[in-house]
Structure 1
Amino acid sequence: MGYISHPKIVPDKVEERKYQMTLAKDCLNTDTLVVLPTGLGKTIIALYTTAVVLSESKKVLLMAPTKPLVDQHTSVFSELLVDTKIGIMNGLMKAETRQKIVESNELIVSTPQCIANDLENGMYDMDDFGLVIYDEAHRGTGNYAYVTVAAHCTEKSISMGLTASPGSDIKKVEEVCRNLRFVRIEIRTEEDPDVAPYIHDTYVKKIEVNLPKELLDIIDVWKALLDYYFKELKDLRLVKENWPPSRTHMLMIGESVQKRLRRGERSITLYRGLTVQSICMKILHAIELAETQGMSPLRLYMAKLNEDALAPKGNKGGKELVARKEYLEVWNMASESKIEHPKVSKLMSLVSQILNSDTSSKVMVFTQYRDTCDVLIEKLSGIEVAKVGKLIGQSNGGLRQKEQIGILDEFRTGAKNVIVATSVGEEGLDVASTNAVIFYEPVPSEIRTIQRRGRTGRKNDGEVFVLIAKGTMDEVFENSSKKKEDQMRSRLDKLNKELSYLRKEGQWKLGDF
């Protein structure tokens, strides 16, 4: 095994992989978005390009969306770079402090919001920066801070983006490229011949369960209630004839009504339509919880609806829904029920089997919802060999970033061997290599699916288990994610050809799209 050799990189420390060096050199020549699966060393590509630019006496800015990611990058670069002044920044610091850090350091590692604010306020400029790196670059849409930073960059600096998955929506990928000045997309997958030697097998297995009669009975009541309100939306002429009562269509109805109200239209139909649309969204969420999560999360959700309905300024649609006899019927059924979703027992059996077959095993369980996360932690903690940790985001009384890092450290050292995580565990964070990843439910996003799956098979072969309740939204989400993932590569290839044409024409701003 050879090692990367560069005056700015600690010798005999970083394994040299041909595809990483090829990608790094491409990035040094052209503003590039690098698409590389989780665990294949996007950070090393960033490290090498950083070393080259620093050796030319130019500064480097490396941005990441969260403070734990910033801390993680700082730790890696501090360990691997030679004689480099590294400054770490975040929004908790005073702007004057950040200004001094920028002036006195060569490599700046920061969250993007504070950089954007400083640039807008003229605290410093980007003239001395030869390289700007956007980690999790797929976020560079709309008014996200990456976009503001890119607008302040000069053409003298190289723009480099890193992502495991930019998504299958080609318009959004085009927007990212336009916003962050990328004129080339470099894609590598596990199938590429220069990557394949470094790939460990990841075995994906679907585990299907049937819903018990008690849950099906509750779902039937919810669906009847949904049909009732959806018919009212049809009577109000807010629904196209062939539309099913899906979340997508409900969002479209809400957007359409809001647009008409903004234009100055005023009618009982529109105001009633908004109320009914809000009720339908609540019912759809309740159905999804019952189908894919189980009785406990459903009960917790309904308890929140009850609480909101009692509040003087509670949601009008929520008050109407909670007052219906069908709702009360479901509430009584859910309150008296002792059953859990069959996925819970499958999960416990699976985790127990993995841990008992190898005491050094580590398992990561992903779920969309915090309420489910709490239920699963309680259940899994009953397994004798399981040392369970929780990894959730910061909002609404969640885990502070310091606590998130602490949980990951415990997982790395073996103090915890099971982590139950929400979406915060999907993106970017250096999670210790796991033997198995379990999706408590499929997610419709191809980006999140790829990120979840990438938590295993990094250093050894790994397994991915996807729990699916038959005949439910689980199946819809699983099919949606797979379809989007299949589309992503072909669409990115097509976009790259168009970018190549624009490069030749000298129109790097994607003006022809």
Structure 2
Amino acid sequence: MSFLSHRYIAPDMIEERTYQRNIANDCLKENTLVIIPTGLGKTIIAMIVAAHILEKGKKVLILAPTKPLVEQHYSTYSQFMNDVKIGTMNGLMAPEKRAKIIEGNDLIVCTPQVVDNDLQNDRYSLRDFGLIVFDEAHRAVGGYSYVNIASYYHSGLTLGMTASPGSDLNKMIEVCRNLDITHAVMRSDDDPDVSPYVHDTFVRNEIVDMPDDLLNVIKILNKMLNVYLNELVNLKFMDPGWPASTKHLLVVGDTLQKRLARGEKTSMIFRGLVSQSAAIKLMHAIGLAETQGMTTLRNYMLKIESDASTAKGAKASKDIINQPSYKELWRILRDTKVEHPKISRLMSLVSQEINSSEEHKVMVFSQYRETCDILVEKLSRIPNAKVTKLIGQSNGGLKQKEQISLLNDFRNGVYNVVVSTSVGEEGLDIASTDMVIFYEPVPSEIRTIQRRGRTGRKNTGEVIVMIAKGTRDEAYERTSERKEEMMRENLDKLNMDLRLITHSGQRRQTRLGEY
């Protein structure tokens, strides 16, 4: 095995990989968006580019969207870079201290919000920086801080990094335009300079049949939902041709709120808002019934009842529990002990995997925190299972330092099963797992790719997507597959569009060839 060799990279520490060197060479020529799957070493590529920029006497700024990612990058760069002053900063520090960190270090790692705020207050400039790395660059849209920082940066190279830029070509172009990127470099596991370094990842769907009680609950919920959808159509607030979706209902709500703000305080507007809100609540309930099970649904409906019982409770909640079908719904929820069939199937899959080898690790993803709690309790009953959960810090969740500590324990074998919400999808250095299980599919190609990238890093991996037959699970899986196909097609078009944009002079500035 040969190792990377550079005066600013610690010797005999990082395996030299052809594709990483090739991509880094491309990045040194012009502002580049690097699109490669999770686990192929985006950080190492950025480190190679950074070493060359530091050699020219310029500073490097590494931006990452979350504090755990910042800490992870700071640790990685500190470990693998040699004779480089590395600093990190945050919003809790005094502005003067941050300015000193900028002045006294060669490479700085932080979240973009800190730099954005400092630049707007003229606390320092970026003129001494020869490289800015935008990690998870697909976030550089709208009013996100990446966009504003790029507008202040006129002196050096830009490097955007992402595993999943999304399926919308216009959004990809927007990201590149916002970061002044003129070239995109892509790799997949199948590329000839990548394939020697990756392992196979096998993906399969695990189909489960729904029990009759759950099907009856879903039928009742749909009947209740249709009451509100029909009312919105009759009130002319919703087109009868629209498919019933949360997205369309949110559009209806936004329109009604705007009319209300303009002074249309009529009984029809207020009734429309109640129906719209009730419909959204019931669509969420149907989603829980189809994908999560009785316990999660029962707890959600109890929250609606609790809300309805208070004087200041939402009118939508009161309306729902007064529907004629609600008593029948609650009778089934109260008397039925059956759980979602996914739970027993999941327990079987996890048990087989962790008991096939004491070294094996499993990661389970679920959309809902409450479902994570249920799964942790169930999976902990499996012999030899050492289970924990990885959740975000909101509403009494895990603080960011606790998340990092948990991942270290997972890496070191303290745990062999992690049940995670979306916090485990993006960027965090999670130990390579042998199996990733989607407790439910998600209709997002970005999240699907990020989840799937948690296995097959160091050994052959398996991805299992659990799908409840005849439910929205099937639609979500098809949506994710279609969007991923669109993303791959659009990536091929991206460089052509970037060249057209550059030649037409639509960019803020041109810095090609400076390095």
- TM-score range normalised by the length of the shorter chain: over 0.9
Q: Deviations over 1:15-64 (max 9, x none)?
A: 11122112112212211111110000100111001111111111111011
Which residue identity does 1:446 align to in structure 2? E
In 2: Cα distance, 1:473 partner to 1:123 partner: 50
In 2: Cα distance, 1:335 partner to 1:148 partner: 53
Task: Tell me by how many angstroms 1:328 deviates.
Answer: 3.5
Q: Deviations over 1:421-468 (max 9, x none)?
A: 000000000100100000000000100000000000000100001110
Instruction: Point out the more displaced range, 207-216 or 192-201.
Output: 192-201
Which residue identity does 2:479 align to in structure 1? S
In 2: Cα distance, 1:277 partner to 1:443 partner: 24
Instruction: Point out the more displaced range, 441-450 or 252-261.
Output: 252-261
Task: Tell me by how many angstroms 1:136 deviates.
Answer: 0.6
**Kindly tell me: are residues 315 and 181 of structure 1, through their superposed partners in 2, closer, same or farther at Cα, counting changes over 3 Å?**
farther
Equivalence for 1:115: 115
Q: Secondary structure at the match of 1:443?
A: coil
Task: Tell me by how many angstroms 1:94 deviates.
Answer: 2.1
Kept in 1: contact 2:59–2:129 (CA 8 A): yes
**1:138-153 map, 5 Å:** 138-153=138-153
Which residue identity does 2:459 align to in structure 1? N
The two structures have a TM-score, normalised by structure 1, of 0.96
**1:159-170 map, 5 Å:** 159-170=158-169
Equivalence for 2:277: 278
Kept in 1: contact 2:385–2:416 (CA 8 A): yes
**1:32-431 map, 5 Å:** 32-154=32-154, 156-262=155-261, 265-431=264-430
Task: Tell me by how many angstroms 1:200 deviates.
Answer: 0.6
In 2: Cα distance, 1:321 partner to 1:510 partner: 56
Equivalence for 1:467: 466
Q: Secondary structure at the match of 2:482?
A: helix
Task: Tell me by how many angstroms 1:269 deviates.
Answer: 2.8
In 2: Cα distance, 1:311 partner to 1:174 partner: 49
Which residue identity does 2:353 align to in structure 1? I
Q: Secondary structure at the match of 2:325?
A: helix
Task: Tell me by how many angstroms 1:314 deviates.
Answer: 2.5
Instruction: Point out the more displaced range, 171-180 or 6-15.
Output: 171-180
Which residue identity does 1:385 align to in structure 2? N
Which residue identity does 1:166 align to in structure 2? P
In 2: Cα distance, 1:161 partner to 1:137 partner: 5
The two structures have a TM-score, normalised by structure 2, of 0.96
Equivalence for 2:476: 477
Q: Deviations over 1:461-509 (max 9, x none)?
A: 0000111000101001000000000000111221220111233444434
Task: Tell me by how many angstroms 1:5 deviates.
Answer: 1.5
Q: Secondary structure at the match of 1:20?
A: helix
Q: Secondary structure at the match of 2:395?
A: coil
Kept in 2: contact 1:300–1:371 (CA 8 A): no
Q: What is the root-mean-square deviation in Å for CA atoms of aligned residues?
A: 1.6
- Note if 1:495 corresponds to 2:515: no
Task: Tell me by how many angstroms 1:378 deviates.
Answer: 0.3
Which residue identity does 1:499 align to in structure 2? L
Equivalence for 1:5: 5
**Kindly tell me: are residues 208 and 52 of structure 1, through their superposed partners in 2, closer, same or farther at Cα, counting changes over 3 Å?**
same
Instruction: Point out the more displaced range, 473-482 or 240-249.
Output: 240-249
**Kindly tell me: are residues 336 and 96 of structure 1, through their superposed partners in 2, closer, same or farther at Cα, counting changes over 3 Å?**
farther
Instruction: Point out the more displaced range, 39-48 or 188-197.
Output: 188-197
Kept in 1: contact 2:224–2:323 (CA 8 A): no
Instruction: Point out the more displaced range, 260-269 or 274-283.
Output: 260-269
Equivalence for 2:29: 29
Task: Tell me by how many angstroms 1:163 deviates.
Answer: 0.5
Task: Tell me by how many angstroms 1:255 deviates.
Answer: 2.9
**Kindly tell me: are residues 473 and 273 of structure 1, through their superposed partners in 2, closer, same or farther at Cα, counting changes over 3 Å?**
same
In 2: Cα distance, 1:322 partner to 1:246 partner: 22
Kept in 1: contact 2:444–2:480 (CA 8 A): yes
- Matched residues, number: 510
Kept in 2: contact 1:502–1:510 (CA 8 A): no
Q: Secondary structure at the match of 1:211?
A: coil
Segments of 5+ residues of structure 2 without an aligned counterpart are: 511-515
In 1: Cα distance, 2:331 partner to 2:88 partner: 54
Which residue identity does 1:406 align to in structure 2? S
Equivalence for 2:513: none
Kept in 2: contact 1:443–1:478 (CA 8 A): yes
Task: Tell me by how many angstroms 1:264 deviates.
Answer: 5.2
Task: Tell me by how many angstroms 1:267 deviates.
Answer: 3.7
Task: Tell me by how many angstroms 1:510 deviates.
Answer: 10
Instruction: Point out the more displaced range, 174-183 or 275-284.
Output: 174-183
Which residue identity does 1:357 align to in structure 2? S
Task: Tell me by how many angstroms 1:106 deviates.
Answer: 0.9
In 1: Cα distance, 2:507 partner to 2:20 partner: 25
Q: Deviations over 1:357-406 (max 9, x none)?
A: 11111000000000000000000000111000110001111100011011
Kept in 2: contact 1:295–1:341 (CA 8 A): yes
Kept in 1: contact 2:173–2:498 (CA 8 A): no
Q: Secondary structure at the match of 2:4?
A: coil
In 2: Cα distance, 1:273 partner to 1:315 partner: 14
Q: Secondary structure at the match of 1:383?
A: coil
Instruction: Point out the more displaced range, 492-501 or 320-329.
Output: 320-329
Segments of 5+ residues of structure 1 without an aligned counterpart are: none
Kept in 1: contact 2:134–2:161 (CA 8 A): yes
Which residue identity does 2:321 align to in structure 1? V
Which residue identity does 1:96 align to in structure 2? E
Kept in 2: contact 1:275–1:317 (CA 8 A): yes
In 1: Cα distance, 2:506 partner to 2:216 partner: 59
Q: Deviations over 1:274-330 (max 9, x none)?
A: 221111000000000000000111112112222222333332212221333422332
In 1: Cα distance, 2:312 partner to 2:194 partner: 57
Task: Tell me by how many angstroms 1:266 deviates.
Answer: 4.7
Q: Secondary structure at the match of 1:191?
A: coil
Kept in 2: contact 1:178–1:510 (CA 8 A): no
Q: Secondary structure at the match of 2:33?
A: strand
**1:439-458 map, 5 Å:** 439-458=438-457
Kept in 2: contact 1:344–1:376 (CA 8 A): yes
Task: Tell me by how many angstroms 1:263 deviates.
Answer: 5.2
**Kindly tell me: are residues 141 and 264 of structure 1, through their superposed partners in 2, closer, same or farther at Cα, counting changes over 3 Å?**
farther
In 1: Cα distance, 2:70 partner to 2:371 partner: 29
Kept in 2: contact 1:391–1:421 (CA 8 A): yes
